[in-house]
Structure 1
Amino acid sequence: MALPQPDDLTSLVLRTDFGDDAAWDALRAAVHALDGGPHATWVSDPRFAGVGIPELLHEDNAADEDEQLTHLFLADATALADPQHRLLALDLYDEPGRTFRVPPAWFPDISANLSIANMDFEDFADCADASGTFRGFGDG
């Protein structure tokens, strides 16, 4: 179950919950509505249904070094049930397994900065609020 590779300068958004197609479409629309830029490589593949963080870490570690990812975002059951559609950001590099939630409004900035290694995962994770959600620097 190798992890898909994101398109150049985008982040992988992996769907792991398949119970609500309308919520998946709404999440994608919310991100696209922000500025229309290609910030995500969207993957909706049922073989990833219910996959958890340990399995994702294992798959990334098993990949060739040049195929390993530094981060990804999960459209999990929580993200799809949440009216805010907060994606789960997952660190695969510096602190493998570390997570925080990302509302669509912040996804393009976070994706862009992580994709070009302008900022590190911890820069965003350390600013997450008490709910584990990144809501901006100094605002959370």
Structure 2
Amino acid sequence: MNDSIWRRVSSAPLMIRTDFSHDGEWTRLMAAVVEPQTEDEFEADVEFVDDKAFEGVTAAQLRQLVPADSRESFAFLADSQTFAHPDRPILVVQLQDWEEDAEEQVGEPGDDTTFRVIPSEMHSVENNLSLANMDWEEFADAVDDDGVFRGFPE
């Protein structure tokens, strides 16, 4: 795999397909992710990666692929668990933990570096993490018992 996916013009987080056994479901999943979800038509802004070079890639493997000089802090994986579950929960992967006022990475990925999100809530995760309106922990702490973020209680 080359690292060209990390060196691109777009600043949108990546949504990487790692399971290639469900072509129709992948198409429906992409449509669900970018569908406006609120009255204000908020939607997830992601760059889809549909490249068999990523087949079977895990969160841990993905972290190893991120170049040291990358500013990517998170990505989404559409893996076999995404397609096996009726809610299609997408894996959110914390790639790097950046201090707000620092130019260097802090800490190493630990156990709290992934959670899942249903497609209709991806806009909330993507928008807020991209803009640093909310922290990773706010979403990770709000997952259901099965590890899936389905939105904040009203």
TM-score (norm 2): 0.78
**Partner residue of 1:22 out of 17, 21, 24:** 24
Tell me which structure has the larger Cα radius of gyration: 2
Residue by residue over 1:90-111, the C-alpha shift from the partner in whole angstroms, topping out at 9 and shown as x without a partner, is 1112362511110011101110
1:1-140 → structure 2 map (5 Å cutoff): 1=1, 2=3, 4-5=5-6, 7-8=10-11, 10-34=12-36, 35=41, 37=43, 39-60=45-66, 63-65=67-69, 67-94=70-97, 96=109, 98-138=113-153
> 1:17, 1:77 within 8 Å by CA — same for their partners in 2?
yes
How far residue 120 of structure 1 moved from its aligned partner, in angstroms, is 1.6
Unmatched tracts of structure 2, length 5 or more: 98-107
Residue by residue over 1:84-132, the C-alpha shift from the partner in whole angstroms, topping out at 9 and shown as x without a partner, is 2110011112362511110011101110111112212111001111100
Paired letter, 1:96? P
Aligned length: 135
Quick one: structure 1 residues 86 and 118, their matched pair in 2 at CA, closer, same or farther if it must change by over 3 Å? same
Q: Distance in 2 between matches of 1:105 and 1:15?
A: 18
Q: Distance in 2 between matches of 1:107 and 1:133?
A: 11
> 1:70, 1:93 within 8 Å by CA — same for their partners in 2?
yes
> 1:3, 1:59 within 8 Å by CA — same for their partners in 2?
no
Q: Distance in 2 between matches of 1:131 and 1:105?
A: 17
The secondary structure found in structure 2 opposite 1:4 is helix
How far residue 69 of structure 1 moved from its aligned partner, in angstroms, is 1.5
Percent identity of paired positions between Structure 1 and Structure 2: 39
How far residue 3 of structure 1 moved from its aligned partner, in angstroms, is 6.6
Residue by residue over 1:10-65, the C-alpha shift from the partner in whole angstroms, topping out at 9 and shown as x without a partner, is 221010000010010010111222348461110001000001122111112xx132
Q: Greater helix share, 1 or 2?
A: 1
